[in-house]
Amino acid sequence: MSRPVEGWSARQADEPQCVVQTRAGAAVLLDALARAVSSAGFRVRSVDGGFDAARGISGGYLLSEVVQLPLMTALARVELQVRLATDVAPGDDARALVTCVAGAHELGASKRVARALTRASTALERSGSATLVTDWSAAWQRGTDQAV
């Protein structure tokens, strides 16, 4: 069984990204990720080469400061992009890049996404596919020339 996925640190909250790699096919990988992210309360929208996912409302953080502090985790806007890596040779493991493009600093965002990735990894491993989730890296750690 895979180890639980750790959330990103405050230092990595500049568009944190990790890679999910599995022996299962690309479609199976995307399906597992979409199901896990959806069960974490994200709305999933298919796009070419992956999907976008969002939860919360714009301005949710400001509203929660006025109404009540615990609402921050429920209302804060968090957006993810999940894209299949295009540099995968035939026969290689499928890889998906998971990037938090908005809301990475929001309270609870890191933990919520990490739990969703743990669920996806566990589901893939239960189906017999070895799965690896890399550690998070920030945009400044990856550089600007990373191919997707």
The Cα–Cα gap between 148 and 138 comes to 15
Q: Which residues of the chain have pLDDT under 50?
A: 60, 145-148
| Residue pair 45/51 in contact by the 8 Å Cβ criterion | yes
* Per-residue confidence (pLDDT) for residue 148, from 0 to 100: 44
* Per-residue confidence (pLDDT) for residue 3, from 0 to 100: 82
Residues, the chain, total?
148
* Per-residue confidence (pLDDT) for residue 77, from 0 to 100: 82
* Per-residue confidence (pLDDT) for residue 34, from 0 to 100: 97
75-106 pLDDT tens trace = 678 999 999 998 888 888 999 999 999 989 88
Tokens 């968090």 correspond to 78
